[in-house]
């Protein structure tokens, strides 16, 4: 297959390097990734400045844009009239579960693929530490890509995969999961620069709700989470209730 590979950690990261190497054994892989870390860039698109793209070799390109920019540039400036058969974003250095998917640049690239109706996968490794091997994670993704057609998913659905840390043993256990829930205790730290001007760091500590069948619950138990997701924010339960009680809101007319 023709596979477009991107991420939000940068073209130089261990995750995307391992994935490019493993997928290239079988597939025609093109890497278009940011030239610097773009974590938490979400689904942002650069529209207020020109973008630059540098060709590193025949199949690798680096851009100064976001992961979503990378997908757009790849389709219009690299593939042009051809389209990739699949878009894979990752392997991210850290998990992207529960509410984190709304912030994640990794997931955003897969969202863009789903909008364009191209089969798309976001891949992350939870609790990643610098120097941790991504080789076995990349091998799992390669096996998943081979079996992907059996899932029978619509192209408007993308898959969000979260792997536990590499223990040196091949990933075998997996579960199909739902999106979990996480509250973030946001912390904003104010400091002073040498000229006495204030600056701020945004950080914090996540508190996970480990509900049965969720992405976080699976990863917490050392199991790979495979979560099918769709870009539809409609609350269909509430929509049905509101439609059934529409007469109560006659005053809006």
Summarised one tens digit per residue, pLDDT across range 12-60 is 999 999 999 999 999 999 999 999 998 888 899 999 999 999 999 999 9
Beta 224-230 vs 120-125: how paired, if at all? unpaired
Query: Structure tokens of 118?
Result: 């191209």
Q: What is the CA radius of gyration of the chain?
A: 20
Q: What integer pLDDT is reported at residue 210 of this predicted model?
A: 66
Comparing CA positions, the residue from 122, 136, 126, 134 lying closest to residue 216 is 126
pLDDT band at 253 (very low <50, low <70, confident <90, very high): low
What are 199's strand-pairing partners? 191
Give pLDDT, residue 76: 96
Band the pLDDT of 246: cuts 50, 70, 90. Answer: confident
Give the three-state DSSP class for 208: strand
Element (H, E) at 4: strand 2-6
- Token output for 81: 């009239």
Sign of the dihedral defined by the CA atoms of residues 50, 56, 62, 64, in that order: negative
pLDDT at residue number 252: 56
Query: Tens digit of pLDDT for each residue in 158-203?
Result: 999 999 999 999 999 999 999 988 766 677 889 999 999 999 988 7
| Domain 2-179+210-252: CATH architecture, name and number where available | 3-Layer(aba) Sandwich (3.40)
* Mean pLDDT value of segment 1-6: 98
pLDDT(204) > 80: no
Give the list of residues 6+ apart from residue 210 with CB closer than 8 angstroms, or none. 180, 216, 217, 220
Task: Give, rounded to a whole angstrom, the gap between the first and last alpha carbons of the chain.
Answer: 54
| Of residues 84, 99, 101, the one with CA closest to residue 160 | 101
Average pLDDT of the chain to the nearest whole number:
92
Do strands 181-192 and 198-209 pair parallel, antiparallel, or not at all (unpaired)?
antiparallel
pTM: 0.90
pLDDT attached to residue 209: 67
């Amino acid at each position: 297959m023709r596979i477009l590979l991107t991420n939000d950690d940068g073209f130089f990261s261990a995750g995307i390097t391992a994935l490019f190497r493993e997928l290239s054994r079988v597939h025609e892989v093109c890497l278009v990734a940011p030239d610097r870390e773009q974590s938490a860039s979400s689904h942002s698109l650069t529209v207020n400045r020109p973008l630059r793209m540098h060709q590193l070799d025949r199949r690798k390109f680096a851009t100064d844009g976001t992961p979503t920019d990378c997908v757009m540039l790849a389709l219009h400036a690299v593939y042009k009239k051809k389209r990739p058969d699949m878009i894979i974003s990752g392997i991210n250095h850290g998990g992207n579960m529960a509410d984190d998917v709304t912030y994640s640049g990794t997931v955003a690239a897969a969202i863009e693929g789903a909008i364009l109706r191209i089969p798309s996968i976001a891949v992350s490794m939870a609790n990643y530490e610098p120097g941790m091997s991504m080789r076995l994670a990349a091998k799992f993704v390669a096996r998943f890509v081979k079996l992907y057609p059996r899932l029978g998913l619509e192209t408007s659905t993308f898959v969000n995969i979260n792997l536990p840390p590499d223990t040196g043993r091949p990933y075998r256990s997996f579960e199909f999961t739902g999106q979990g829930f996480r509250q973030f205790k946001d912390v904003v730290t104010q400091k002073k620069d040498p000229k006495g001007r204030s600056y701020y760091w945004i950080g914090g500590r996540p508190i996970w709700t480990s509900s049965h069948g969720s992405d976080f619950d699976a990863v917490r138990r050392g199991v790979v989470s495979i979560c099918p997701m769709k870009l539809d924010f409609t609350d269909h339960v509430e929509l049905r209730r509101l439609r059934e009680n529409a007469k109560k809101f006659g005053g809006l007319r």
